[in-house]
Structure 1
Amino acid sequence: MRTGPGAVKRRALQSSASDLVECRPLGTEGWWPGLVTPKAAGVDLVGWAQTSRDHVAALLARHKALLFRGFDRQSADQLSDFVAATSDNSLLDYKDRTTPREALGKKLYTSTSYPADRRIELHNEGTYWRRWPLKLYFACGVAAESGGETPLANVARVLDRLSPQTVARFEEAGFTLVRRFNDGFGLPWQEVFQTEDRAEVEAFCRENAIAFEWGEDDRLATRQTRPAIRRHPASGERVWFNHAAFFHVSAYAGPDRDALEAELGSDRMPYATTFGDGSEIPVAVVEEVLAAYHAEERRFPWEAGDILLVDNMSVAHGRQPYTGERRTLVAMAEPHDG
């Protein structure tokens, strides 16, 4: 048996892993993510996490999202190791894409490439997929000069803010995402499905309950209907889990919407949502949903080296406009079949 100061230090780390950090809410009013920080200098985040998986799981169940800050040698480059230490290490590929991202290997990606002066509205990842991640990871490599926060919202609380009529309508009908590709706007289907082969696209669509139709000039239209309200697989909590407002035609920015409608027509927009039965979602309902998100929104400023772990079925995320350089890495873990 190996002895000496190093072995003593390792045993102490293992025996007191849950005592080496503290976790407190980032804010004081209502729900806030938990801020996890070391109680003393020299605590390595990955090393601590490797011996503290159950403790991290308990903290995540309590707080829904956790911001890890201030650990020794903490950096965005450690994201793969941190994911492995705090999940079952089953990572999802980013397929059936709606936004451009750069793949970095090991199923890590940059955050969505989107104009810096625009806001990305709150949403949960993959609500229109048949298989979505239960855990999301964000790692801050470079914090923006100003702005660039990742707003968060507890979607059980969002659901509680909606009128009974809105909840009943979505619970009964679900929502449908309609996409139209290769009109020169949005991502081409070749990037969305990561293939040039139409047969592969068709196989993916059939496997994932996505209706599809090919048109002239290699154009593709898809339609996928999903529940709008789900139950969390661990807590049983009912959560608002959909992109109904995010991709609604009314959500396009003013000048962008005008240009798209002028070029394509209102029935050819790259993205649109309806109720699951195909009926129109009124703009007033979209505004109600967005107001509920905004009322529950929580923000914090990023610091380089921060790692954020999010329960994807409990918490929606977005992005604020920013100035300067901003670099955030993303991983999606623990796929769940709906």
Structure 2
Amino acid sequence: MKSGNVESVLKAPRPKRSKWTHTWREYKKNKYMFFMLFPILVWYAIFHYGPLYGVQLAFKDFSPIRGIWGSEWVGFEYFKFLFFQSPDFLRILKNTVIISCYNIIFGFPAPIILALLMNEIRFGLFKRVAQSISYIPHFFSWVVLSGIIMMMLSPTHGPINYLLSLVNIDPIYFLADSNYFRSTLVVTNIWKEIGWGTIIYLAALTGVDPTLFEAAKIDGADRFKQIRHISIPSILPVITIMFILSLGGILNAGFDQIFNLYSPTVYNVSDIIDTYVYRAGIVNGQFGLTTAVGLFKNIIGITLVLGTNYVVKKMGQEGVL
């Protein structure tokens, strides 16, 4: 073959592989990984996407005898009732937003602060013990923890009120007084979840280049300045993503916790959307009304996630989409 022909063959454009061919090759290359992923996909399909079939209950006068398809359409009647006729829904919505905002304002920074503090501990044994102790409450259900909390906060024989009595403070009914109930919810929720929340931030902190801290020490930066100028900026993308996801659940104020701790004396400040759905749907059988409430929650949640993600990306940070 002549040299000119060789050069022409080498310079000839190779046929481009289609996007689908490349994708199929990647799937085939990692087929065992996808086999491991298959049970998770099935689980999501059955328990997350399958129930979407029942969303139409929000627009129907559901009858168990006639079924979902046979029930009569009522349009937006349930939504009109919730927002314009229900005497309780706006108060319940207000309680939900207030409790969720308290949890975000006070509960969201708590694991970040704890992770930053634990990252500064140099004594390995103490650090591991402290982490283990902080994780333990997460693994207990609110049914168990509510009994512990009621015992600790009892106005008659609880240790908290006993300590208050030592400084001549009258017993406080933390779980029966509207002035203290929301604060009690926030504090106990932080106590339960703060240790578990630190896992993500501690994992992010382990990925920070140690030479950055060494260089900062040489430049005379103390521990506080190292945290401010190295640790926090390094985990800021993780903080941003977690914050976006937290805003998406702003209408989830914690059914398990509130259901096990509240009582009729504090309904005015503790009755939230999820407890309302429990009474209306499970107790009274108003399935269409409760489906409308759930659809409203999901619309608000996805709107907040997309809106916050858009704003965060405009500010130059990493988003979730």
Normalising by structure 1, what TM-score? 0.19
Larger radius of gyration: 2
- Compare relative contact order (CA 8 Å, sep 6+) and give the higher one, 1 or 2: 1
Structure with the largest fraction of helix: 2
Normalising by structure 2, what TM-score? 0.20
